[in-house]
């Protein structure tokens, strides 16, 4: 979606239009011939112009369509049809029909429109979107400057989900079928293949599932059915989940956990309340909020749990099943069309009480939302960077407010925004500062690479090698962390100095030796490693520079040839099942040394993991990102927390050329509060979030000359507002992606100024060239 579609639609209604005409780049507020023509084309989509008087309809409805536009469209409610705000309807739209949502219903106005109004074609038999969810859509649209229709589409996710589910065939065993005389072994296996329900009765299952579980042939299945030992039942396609049992396996809490739980329950009793559950790694935060989920279940309320990356949630799901006897419903982008339709419908109809999902689960139509939990709330993965750029943590807080329900933000390393809100009293601050009762305090030390230099072409210093050696000898597990995929981030020609870069992006190609490919991690371009330098033609002169996890794995394999190694990164474990299999191998002790990226930093519990080595603790400490120190501290702290989570002591070694850096010193001295205090002070002095506001305007075009000219013109139009600083235009840190040059403006202002209004005033009248894309990022997380 091009952002100018938003501004064309928002300009007259959503804020000041800003200023006078300036050539052909800006348009006035008054209707120009071009605007009149555009409006006429828009009216034509709804019907032919009126040629004569029409009878007034009784009611008109404004319909929002899940398309990248901000307008609602007026339709007549036909006689005999009753619709209300939030209903799903089918409407004619040009030559097609579309699914829309009733935004408002009003009595017919006396003034007749100058076009023939069309009737709503049908109302779907589907639960309506709640008033709270509709208000959330409006808020997200206004706050993040996104099209109303684009945000509404996030509530649907999949075409067809609002239509009735198809009927499907299942089977159940006949009563006493297993007791029939002369029952063959195959039929007995088939009739025993049903899963038991919560009451012990067999749950209906599909033909394919029963054949797969029992291993019988189709002929045996058919004969058993014809003998009346199987009974076919028809039902709506539905989500095959059981109801979680809140009293199934309640845990024994420590005194501090019990105190935190009582404080959270007290906060939850008064409706909307944001609580920050701030607990060190291994303190049992998950068990504490599981008890709050149980409380919501007993009150027959819905619960939403947001995780930053649902593909990494295998251990969390197993914990949930152990506590509640069954798994929750899952929502993320990798679900099949059928799974999405089933889950969406089950949520809308109130047939599933608990959903765990990625950020998009925020827009599911819960009928009675009683609790929201955002786990690892500090994670940048909660920010949507494409399309509608929203932060799921902040939207979750707004949804909780609109649903009048409590929300719990959980983290061992809270974001500065949440921590400051807690310090100011806006959020309830609940602290768990003790690890598991059997866990011992971590020992963290820095390795000064200026003194303990690794051997040439190697990346592990001797103190870290010795720690790995001792851990192996003790029969324990180690983790080496390096947040860099592949074998090497750069391939360099020793003859001419040429660096192999992406054809479409201003970035180096990363060497992946396992696949013998050079890959761009921005656009996905992959090509084989050339036999000679593409610049000078010299053979055998291309060398990899710098380490990735694959290169560290190669070094470890040479050092410890008998050790069982595994490398974990997002391009090696690409499915939820592959992640679950890795967790099973690690938990079973089938891996001695694990080498991984940030995939291994989130919430895993491996009882035998005692040593963690940070291969490059300097990575990410510096740069133009105002959150660089915060992110580095959070990431290293989380990785370090994987060690020594049970009775065996844990140790962490940080390799660095800057061991005196404040971030690393805070980690070594286990002084989290000193780091946060210093970081908060620096942010406040610089008037950076959470003490100021930021917005980024990012533009791209295949032609850098066109882009520069466009940036110059809109920079000249920036309104002078006291307290607002405009930085740019300047090339983005990654200046080209997918063949498009990228420039950006950064807006900085105090908390007392609403940047959205200023952006509408500045960019509302902009005519964006056809080849140019313009996007706005409110409260940016990424600065690349």
The full DSSP string for 311-375 is: GG-HHHHHHHHHHHSSPPEEE-TTS-HHHHHHHHHHHHTT---EEEESGGGGGS--SSEEEEEET
CA neighbor of 606 nearest in space, from 634, 586, 627, 585: 586
Task: Write down the pLDDT at residue 166.
Answer: 64
Looking at the predicted structure, is the pLDDT value of residue 656 above 70?
A: yes
Q: Which residue has the higher pLDDT, 493 or 201?
A: 493
pLDDT band for 617, please (50, 70, 90 cuts). very high
Average pLDDT, the chain: 87
CA neighbor of 729 nearest in space, from 754, 751, 704: 704
Task: Write down the pLDDT at residue 625.
Answer: 84
Residues 237-256: tens digit of each pLDDT: 565 567 899 999 999 999 99
448: left (phi over 0), alpha (psi -120 to 50) or beta: beta
Cα separation, 743 vs 697, in Å, equals: 8
Task: Write down the pLDDT at residue 241.
Answer: 61
What is the number of alpha carbons within 13 Å of residue 310 lying toward its C-beta? 17
Mean pLDDT of 394-416: 97
Task: Write down the pLDDT at residue 126.
Answer: 85
Task: Write down the pLDDT at residue 24.
Answer: 34
Task: Write down the pLDDT at residue 784.
Answer: 80
Q: 610 and 471 in contact (C-beta within 8 Å)? A: yes
Task: Write down the pLDDT at residue 14.
Answer: 32
For tokens 């006429």, name the residue: 40
Least confident of 174-188, 296-310, 355-369: 174-188
Task: Write down the pLDDT at residue 132.
Answer: 97
Percent of the chain with pLDDT over 90: 66
Looking at the predicted structure, is the pLDDT value of residue 561 above 60?
A: yes
Looking at the predicted structure, is the pLDDT value of residue 541 above 70?
A: yes
Q: Which residue has the higher pLDDT, 334 or 686?
A: 686
Diameter of the chain by CA atoms? 92
For tokens 């509640």, name the residue: 324
Least confident of 6-10, 28-32, 648-652, 749-753: 28-32
Residues 297-356: tens digit of each pLDDT: 999 999 999 999 865 678 898 899 999 999 899 998 878 887 888 888 889 988 899 999
Q: Which residue has the higher pLDDT, 167 or 448?
A: 448
Mean pLDDT of 681-689: 94
Task: Write down the pLDDT at residue 351.
Answer: 87
Q: Which of the residue ranges 63-77, 190-204, 698-712 has the most confident prediction, judged by mean pLDDT?
A: 698-712
Task: Write down the pLDDT at residue 164.
Answer: 62
Mean pLDDT of 480-485: 94
Task: Write down the pLDDT at residue 239.
Answer: 56
Q: 430 and 263 in contact (C-beta within 8 Å)? A: yes
The full DSSP string for 677-692 is: HHHHHHHHHHT-TTSS
Task: Write down the pLDDT at residue 163.
Answer: 61
Task: Write down the pLDDT at residue 8.
Answer: 35
By three-state DSSP, how is residue 555 classified? Answer: helix
Task: Write down the pLDDT at residue 575.
Answer: 75
Looking at the predicted structure, is the pLDDT value of residue 160 above 80?
A: no
Cα separation, 436 vs 32, in Å, equals: 69
Percent of the chain with pLDDT over 70: 88
Looking at the predicted structure, is the pLDDT value of residue 135 above 90?
A: yes
Cα separation, 742 vs 733, in Å, equals: 9
Q: What angle do CA 8, 11, 14 make, to 5 degrees?
A: 130
Looking at the predicted structure, is the pLDDT value of residue 178 above 70?
A: yes
Task: Write down the pLDDT at residue 176.
Answer: 83
Residues 257-299: tens digit of each pLDDT: 999 999 999 988 889 999 999 998 888 899 999 999 999 999 9
Name 276's Cβ contacts closer than 8 Å, sequence gap at least 6. 377, 408, 409, 411, 414, 418, 419, 421, 422, 427, 428, 429, 430
Residues 747-771: tens digit of each pLDDT: 999 999 999 999 999 998 999 999 9
Residues 19-71: tens digit of each pLDDT: 333 333 333 233 333 334 434 434 443 433 333 344 544 889 999 999 998 88
408: left (phi over 0), alpha (psi -120 to 50) or beta: beta
Task: Write down the pLDDT at residue 30.
Answer: 35
Residues 566-608: tens digit of each pLDDT: 999 888 876 777 888 888 899 999 999 999 998 887 767 888 9
CA neighbor of 703 nearest in space, from 738, 741, 737, 744: 741
Q: Which residue has the higher pLDDT, 782 or 755?
A: 755
């Amino acid at each position: 979606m091009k952002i100018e579609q938003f501004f064309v639609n928002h300009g007259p209604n959503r804020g000041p239009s800003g200023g006078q005409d300036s050539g052909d780049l800006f348009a006035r507020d008054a209707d120009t011939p071009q605007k009149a023509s555009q409006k006429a084309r828009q009216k034509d989509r709804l019907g032919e112009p009126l040629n004569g008087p029409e009878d007034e309809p009784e009611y008109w409805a404004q319909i929002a369509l899940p398309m990248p536009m901000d307008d609602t469209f007026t339709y007549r409610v036909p006689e005999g049809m009753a619709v209300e705000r939030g209903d799903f309807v089918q409407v004619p739209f040009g030559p097609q029909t579309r699914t829309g949502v009733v935004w408002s219903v009003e009595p017919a106005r006396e003034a007749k429109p100058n076009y023939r109004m069309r009737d709503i074609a049908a109302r779907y038999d589907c639960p309506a979107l709640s008033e709270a969810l509709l208000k959330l859509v409006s808020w997200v649209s206004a706050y993040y400057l996104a099209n109303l229709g684009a945000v509404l589409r996030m509530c649907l996710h999949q075409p067809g989900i609002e239509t009735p589910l198809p009927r499907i065939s299942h089977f159940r065993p006949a009563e006493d079928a297993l007791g029939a005389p002369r029952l063959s072994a195959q039929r007995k296996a088939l009739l025993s293949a049903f899963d038991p329900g919560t009451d012990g009765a067999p749950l209906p299952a599909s033909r394919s599932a029963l054949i797969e579980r029992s291993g019988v042939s189709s002929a045996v299945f058919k004969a058993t059915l014809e003998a009346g030992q199987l009974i076919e039942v028809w039902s709506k396609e539905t989500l095959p989940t059981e109801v979680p049992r809140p009293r199934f396996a309640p845990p024994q809490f420590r005194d501090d956990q019990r105190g935190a739980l009582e404080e959270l329950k007290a906060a939850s009793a008064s409706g909307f309340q944001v609580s920050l559950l701030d607990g060190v790694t291994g303190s049992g935060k998950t068990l504490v909020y599981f008890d709050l989920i149980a409380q919501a279940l007993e009150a027959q309320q819905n619960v939403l749990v947001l995780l930053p990356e649902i593909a990494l949630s295998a251990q969390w799901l197993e914990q949930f099943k152990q506590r509640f006897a069954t798994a929750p419903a899952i929502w993320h982008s990798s679900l099949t069309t059928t799974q999405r339709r089933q889950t969406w419908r089950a949520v809308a109809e109130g047939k599933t009480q608990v959903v765990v999902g990625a950020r998009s689960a925020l827009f599911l139509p819960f009928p009675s939302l009683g609790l929201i939990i955002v786990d690892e709330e500090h994670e940048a993965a909660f920010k949507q960077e494409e399309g509608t750029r929203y932060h799921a943590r902040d939207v979750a807080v707004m949804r909780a407010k609109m649903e009048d329900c409590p929300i719990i933000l959980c983290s061992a390393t809270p974001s500065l925004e949440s921590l400051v809100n807690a310090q100011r009293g806006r959020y309830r601050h609940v602290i768990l500062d003790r690890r598991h009762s059997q866990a011992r305090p971590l020992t963290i030390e820095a390795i000064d690479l200026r003194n303990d230099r690794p051997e040439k072409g190697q990346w592990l210093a001797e103190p870290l090698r010795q720690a790995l050696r001792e851990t192996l000898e003790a029969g324990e597990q180690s983790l080496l962390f390096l947040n860099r995929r592949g074998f090497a981030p750069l391939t360099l020609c020793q003859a001419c100095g040429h660096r192999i870069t992406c054809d479409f992006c201003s970035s180096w190609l990363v060497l992946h030796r396992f696949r013998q490919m050079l890959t761009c991690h921005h656009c996905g371009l992959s090509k084989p490693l050339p036999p000679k330098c593409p610049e000078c033609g010299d053979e055998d002169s291309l060398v990899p520079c710098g380490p990735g996890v694959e290169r560290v794995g190669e070094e470890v394999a040479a050092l410890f040839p008998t050790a069982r190694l595994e490398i974990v990164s997002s391009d090696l474990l690409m499915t939820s099942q592959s992640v679950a299999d890795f967790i099973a191998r690690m938990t079973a002790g089938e891996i001695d040394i694990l080498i991984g990226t940030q995939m291994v930093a989130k919430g895993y519990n491996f009882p035998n993991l005692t040593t963690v080595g940070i291969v490059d603790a300097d990575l990410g400490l510096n740069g133009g990102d105002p959150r660089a120190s915060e992110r580095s501290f959070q990431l290293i702290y989380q990785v370090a927390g994987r060690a020594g989570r049970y009775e065996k002591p844990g140790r962490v070694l940080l390799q660095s050329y800057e061991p005196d850096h404040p971030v690393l010193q805070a980690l070594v001295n286990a002084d989290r509060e000193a780091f946060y205090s210093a970081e908060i002070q620096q942010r406040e002095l610089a008037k950076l979030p959470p003490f100021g506001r930021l917005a980024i305007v990012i533009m791209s075009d295949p032609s850098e000359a066109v882009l520069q000219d466009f940036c110059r013109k809109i920079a000249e139009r920036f309104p002078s507002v006291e307290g607002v600083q405009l930085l740019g235009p300047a090339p983005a840190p990654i200046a080209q992606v997918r063949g498009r040059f990228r420039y950006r403006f950064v807006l900085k202002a105090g908390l007392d100024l609403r940047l959205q209004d200023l952006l509408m005033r500045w960019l509302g009248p902009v005519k964006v060239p056809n080849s140019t894309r313009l996007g706005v990022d409110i409260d940016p997380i990424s600065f690349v």
